[in-house]
Copies of this chain bind each other. A is one copy, B any other.
Amino acid sequence: MRATVIHAPHDIRSEEVPDPTLVKPTDAIVRVSAACVCGSDLWPYRGVTPTTKPRRIGHEFVGIVEQVGDEVTAVKPGDFVIAPFYWCDMTCINCRHGVSTSCLHGGWWGAPDRNGDFVDGAQGEIVRVPLADGTLVATPGMPAPDLIPSLLTLADVMGTGHHAAVSAGVGAGSTVVVVGDGAVGLCAVLAAKRLGASRIVAMSRHADRQAIAREFGATDIVEERGAEGIKQIKELFDGVGPDCVLECVGTAESMDQALRSARPGGMVGYVGVPNGGAELPIQTMFGTNVGANGGVAPVRNYIEELLPEVLDGTLNPGRVFDLELPLSEAAEAYAAMDERRATKVLLRP
């Protein structure tokens, strides 16, 4: 089969690799209908995180089950399934606490499992799915093709934006600022709106992203960053700032902006993978009572909640995809996102 391999920064290749097969009785084999490139895939692409040897990449996909192991009962061949950006059992105590990213028995796509057996990356034609009963969520029947982009966002960006909002405590009447206008930031706007926020500011400099943010529920746009951006935010919210700030970037600058934008007693919900090296400034946070909550989003725990609204068309997070390419052109997909020619690229095997 064909799969995407990163060899070095800016060196993404579409290669022939062996087809996966069932390894454990809890596995499923899934033929990928759609995958995509994540903002976090750009960290190794840009060399911000190292690539020491060629490795499979990609962690978001939806597809159709082809085979299941003897112990798999929740999905069956022919089912259309959504996989989160990691695999997990959904039965351990951490999964039951709602934090399936800390599954005691789970792991990551494109890497060996605890026994050393390789688990496929998601930017490929076929994926071996460990712990299939926990990892996969089947849709009721085969979804219409136009729903596939939105279903695919439940693998990561929509669930991650939702996690930012949940972590910040967004509820009815909350005032919200979203830092970051990538796919996750845009989904965070949508999640905040869905949870009842009364006012949502999207911080964005790009007209096309501003337009989607407004479509998703943003009431205001702030283009400035840094001190001037914080000043404008404070002015929009009684001079003190909003209740909740959703940090969807992961740099030291974006987190600083988030922490300094929130009102005293406010909460920053953060989901951007931290890549700035800066720690959280406890003295500042202590003085203002601004909290920080979030992390690697347990999107598997959110799929059942969000799925019905995607299926009935209430939620259309698939709007974040603005480019679609064949899997064989994965290199161009990365380049387009790296150069900001695309917000998020969908790949079709």
Taking Cβ atoms with an 8 Å cutoff, the residues of A that contact B are 93-94, 97-99, 101-102, 167, 238-240, 255, 263-265, 267, 270, 273-274, 278-283, 285-296, 298
Contacts and interface: CB of A to CB of B under 8 A. Distances in A.
Given A99-B289, A274-B282, 7 more contacts: A94-B240, A94-B264, A101-B264, A167-B289, A274-B286, A280-B285, A291-B291
A286 B281 contact: no
Contacts of A288: 102, 295
A263 B295 contact: no
Contact of A98 (B238, B265, B290): B265
Nearest to A167: B291
B282 A289 contact: no
Contact of A287 (B267, B270, B295): B295
Nearest to A275: B283
A296 B292 contact: no
Given A265-B94, A280-B282, A281-B279, A289 B240 contact: no
Contact of A282 (B255, B263, B265): B255
Copies of this protein chain in the complex:
2
Contacts of A298: 265, 289
Nearest to A271: B286
B278 A289 contact: no
A261 to B, nearest CB: 15
B282 A290 contact: no
A287 B287 CA distance: 26
Given A98-B265, A274-B282, A274-B283, A238 B292 contact: no
Contacts of A265: 94, 97-99, 102, 298
Given A279-B281, A282-B280, A264 B102 contact: yes
Contacts of A281: 279-280
The 5 closest A-B pairs by CB, nearest first: A291-B293, A279-B279, A102-B264, A280-B280, A99-B265
A231 to B, nearest CB: 17
Contacts of A291: 167, 291-294
A130 to B, nearest CB: 20
A267 B97 CA distance: 13
A239 B279 contact: no
B293 A270 contact: no
A291 B285 CA distance: 12
A292 B292 contact: yes
A182 to B, nearest CB: 17
A185 to B, nearest CB: 17
